[in-house]
Amino acid sequence: MLRYIERGFKDVLGGLGKRFVRRTEKKMNTLFLSIIILEYTRVLVEYLFDGNLEAALEDFYDTGRITGKGITDDHLDTARYILSKSLEDTPRMAKIFWYIAMGEDVPNRNIRFVPKGKEGNEYDMLTWTFDKCIFCAMSTEEKDIMINKETMGNQTWGGQCAGIFESIMQAVQDYMGNNYEIKVKETKCIMRGDPNNEYEMFFIPREIE
C-alpha cells in the first residue's frame, strides 16, 4: 500500500514540477532540433566519413552516449524526489524528462513498460513510439545526402539519438543504485519506410553479461 501511495505522490509532484522546470529552463524547439541533427550528420558524412552515412550515424550514436551522461549528471540531485528504483515507474520518469526537454506531453498509449517475458522479450524493457518523428522533420527534403534504408545500412535515422536516451537512463539507474546495463535501439524508422518510429530500451542485469 505504501508503495502505491509513494508512486501516486511522485506522479503529482512530477506533474507539477515538470511544468515549473519547463518554464525556467531553456526551451528546445523540435524543428530546431531536427535541423541540428541533420547538419551535424551532414558534417560527419562529408568531412569525416567520405560519404558513408552508416558510419556517420554510428559515430553520432557514440557521441550521444557521452553527451547524454554529462547533461543528466548535472540534474540528478534536483530530480531525486521524482526518481524511482522501480522499473515500473520508468514510463512516468521518461514522460517527465521528455516534457522538460521538448515541452510536449507523451500520450500514455505511446510509452509503456513491458516486464521480462510478457511479449517474448528477454529483458525488462521500455518501448515508445511517435507517429511523427521529430528527428526526421527536416530530413525528408534533404538533397545533399541520400537518406534511405540502403544508405543507412544497419543504422536508423533516429538511432543516432539512441545513445543520448541510453546514457540518460543509465545515469538515472546508476544514481538510484540499480545494477542494469541500458541498451536502446530504434526498431522502426520512418526514413526506412516504417509508418512510425519506435524505440526499445532494455534493462540488462549486469551480473549475467
Confidence at residue 102, expressed as pLDDT on a 0 to 100 scale: 62
Tell me, which fold does domain 2-208 have in CATH? Muramoyl-pentapeptide Carboxypeptidase; domain 2 (3.30.1380)
Q: Per-residue pLDDT tens for 2-22?
A: 444 344 434 433 343 444 344
Confidence at residue 57, expressed as pLDDT on a 0 to 100 scale: 93
CA atoms of 75 and 142, how far apart (whole Å): 35
Residue position matching grid coordinates 549528471: 73
- Label residue 26 by pLDDT band (50, 70, 90): low
Helices (H) and strands (E) in the chain, counts: 7, 4
Q: Per-residue pLDDT tens for 177-208?
A: 999 999 999 999 888 888 888 999 999 999 75
Domain ranges of the chain: 2-208
Residues 42-67, mean pLDDT to the nearest whole number = 90
One-letter identity of residue 120: G
| pTM across the whole model | 0.79
**Which of these, 159, 168, 136, lies nearest to 67 by C-alpha position?**
168
- Label residue 157 by pLDDT band (50, 70, 90): confident
The rounded percent of the chain whose pLDDT value lies above 70 is 75
**Which of these, 202, 186, 146, 174, lies nearest to 61 by C-alpha position?**
186
Mean pLDDT, the chain, rounded, equals 78
Residues 138-160, mean pLDDT to the nearest whole number = 77
CA atoms of 203 and 191, how far apart (whole Å): 27
Q: What is the number of other CB atoms lying within 10 angstroms of the CB of residue 34?
A: 18
